[in-house]
Structure 1
Amino acid sequence: MSDLHYPVKGQCQCGHVSFTLKAAPKMVIACHCKECQKLSTSAFSITSIVNADDIEINGELKTTRRVADSGNENVGYFCPSCGNRIYQLNPAAPEMIKFKAAGCLEDTRMIVPTMHVWTSEKQGWVIIPDDVQQFDKQR
C-alpha cells in the first residue's frame, strides 16, 4: 500500500455526509460480537481507530448513546438521511475516533483488520488469518 496517499475522501450512501481521512488508521479492528453483527447486518463490523485530528467530517449528524457491559459509553454518529453510521466515540476519550464508515472511502485498501475481537461469538464460517491478533472477548 505504499502507493496509498492521504487524504482520502468519502461520503455516506446518500452523499449528505462527507469525510476526509487525513492519515492512516492507528489500527483496524473486526468485531464479531452479537451487537456488531446486528449493527452491521453482517458477520462482523469493521472499525478503523483514528485520531480525531486525522479526520474531517462535514454534514448534519444524528446521535445514539449506548452503555457497554464494561460501563464505557459509546456515542454513535450517523447520517439522518440514509442511516449510515459514520463514527463512534467514548466521551471520556474524544481524541480517539472509532471510524465506522471506512468502507465508504474512495480508496479502501487501508481497511485490513489488524485485530479480531469477540471471536467467541463469531460466525462459524469466518476464517481469521493465523498472523492476525485474536481475542475471545474485548481487548
Structure 2
Amino acid sequence: MNDIQYPLKGACQCGSITYQLTEPPLKVIACHCRQCQKLSTSAFSITALVKTESLVIEGELKFWERLADSGNVNGAAFCPNCGNRIYHFNPADPDHIKLKPSTLEDTRVIQPSSHVWVVEKQDWFEIPDGVPTHQRQS
C-alpha cells in the first residue's frame, strides 16, 4: 500500500459531494453489527478512521444521529441528493471521522485491520485468518 498517493479523491454516487483524503487512515475496521448490516445492505460495513483535518469536503452534507449501544452518539453525514453516506462521527470525538471508504476513487485502502461486533456476524461470512476480531466494539 506504499504506492498509494495522497490526496485521494472521493465522491457520493451522484457527485454532489466530493472530497479529498490528504493522509492515510489510522485504521480500517469491518463492523458486523446489525445496524451496519442495515446501513450497507450487506454482511458488514467498512469504516476508515481518519483525522478530521485530513478530510476536505466540497458540497453541502445532511446529518442524522442515533444513540449507539455504547451510549455514544453515532452521527452520519450524507449527500442530500443521492443519500450516499460519506462519513460517521461521534460529537464527543471531534478530532476523528469514520470515513466510508467505498466512496473513494482508489479503494485499495479498504483492507480491514480488525473486525468488530463479530457476535452479530453473518454465519456464512468467513473472516480471514490472522485478522484481529472483537465480539463487540474494540
- Alignment check: 8 A CA contact 2:29 2:114 kept: yes
- Alignment check: 8 A CA contact 2:68 2:74 kept: yes
- Secondary structure of 1:38's aligned partner: helix
Runs (4 or more) in structure 1 with deviation over 3 Å come to none
| Equivalent residue number for residue 87 of structure 1 | 87
- Secondary structure of 1:3's aligned partner: coil
Give me the whole-angstrom Cα distance separating, in 1, the residues matched to 2:83 and 2:47: 17
Give me the whole-angstrom Cα distance separating, in 2, the residues matched to 1:39 and 1:106: 20
Two-structure CA RMSD over aligned residues (Å): 0.8
The CA deviation string for residues 31-85 of structure 1, in whole angstroms up to 9 with x for no partner, is: 0001100011111000000000111111111110111121101111100000001
The CA deviation string for residues 72-113 of structure 1, in whole angstroms up to 9 with x for no partner, is: 01111100000001111111111110101x112111101100
Give me the whole-angstrom Cα distance separating, in 1, the residues matched to 2:48 and 2:58: 18
| Equivalent residue number for residue 103 of structure 2 | 104
Q: What number of residue pairs does the alignment pair up? A: 138
- Secondary structure of 2:56's aligned partner: strand
TM-score normalised according to structure 1 size: 0.96
Give the gaps of 5 or more residues in structure 1: none
Give me the whole-angstrom Cα distance separating, in 1, the residues matched to 2:115 and 2:5: 26
AA aligned to 1:69 is: D
Give me the whole-angstrom Cα distance separating, in 2, the residues matched to 1:74 and 1:32: 16
Give the gaps of 5 or more residues in structure 2: none
| Equivalent residue number for residue 132 of structure 1 | 131
Give me the whole-angstrom Cα distance separating, in 2, the residues matched to 1:113 and 1:61: 26
Give me the whole-angstrom Cα distance separating, in 2, the residues matched to 1:58 and 1:74: 22
AA aligned to 1:88 is: H
